[in-house]
Structure 1
Amino acid sequence: MKSKLLLSVVGAVALAFSAGSAMADGEAALTKGGCMACHSKDKKLVGPSFKDIAAKYKGQDMSAQLFDKVRKGGSGVWGPIPMSPNPVAKIDDASLKEAVAFILKS
């Protein structure tokens, strides 16, 4: 019984650590990709805050759509200022997926 409890606790700690690590990776990807030049966690700069993006899409699976939007750029969703495309040379696919996941959990 004690060993099952210990395994449960260890598993919960490992899960929490990996989630925290993924969040840190997502935030690092945003910084490395140059996203922080136009966006911030909690206030509008040139583009919307990550908090506002997460609130707009809460409860929706928008990962693929946001990945595509960041990759191709565009305008009209958050106002007239266009978002420039972000090619693979600027942020690789794995980092972009981590960044989008971080944004949607903000």
Structure 2
Amino acid sequence: MRRTLLFMTLSLGAAAPALADLALATSKNCMSCHAVERKVLGPSFKEVAAKYKDDKTATDKLVIKIVKGGSGVWGPLPMPANPQVSEADAKKLAAWILSTK
């Protein structure tokens, strides 16, 4: 019984950060154009993570794109600026996106 409770606690603890960042992405309207595993209007978060997997400056690049928007990287459709997203939240989102391998 004790092992089962420990396992459940560890399992729930491991899932909590992923759920929290998905909640943040949802609250900032990221999920209107993106999904974790499939292309919507913009690329999936897994595609973004794969593209930037060897780029040590990826977090900083994504923070700028999240807040200021961008174009030309994923095709002709631009990503709009998101000035409602703070730099701190953009960093959390970027780190989470890059972890969705």
Superposition TM-score, scaled by structure 2 size: 0.79
Kindly tell me: are residues 22 and 94 of structure 1, through their superposed partners in 2, closer, same or farther at Cα, counting changes over 3 Å? farther
Runs of 4+ in 1 over 4 A off after TM superposition: none
Deviations 1:25-62 (A, max 9, x none): 22111100000000001111110000100011113221
Tell me what 1:47 maps to: 42
Which of 63, 71, 81 is 2:59 aligned to? Answer: 63
Aligned length: 91
Tell me what 1:26 maps to: 21
Structure with larger RCO (C-alpha < 8 A, sep 6+): 1
Rg larger for: 1
Please, which runs of 5 or more residues in structure 1 have no aligned partner? 1-12
Superposition TM-score, scaled by structure 1 size: 0.75
Query: Percent of counterpart pairs with the same letter?
Result: 43
Please, which runs of 5 or more residues in structure 2 have no aligned partner? 1-9
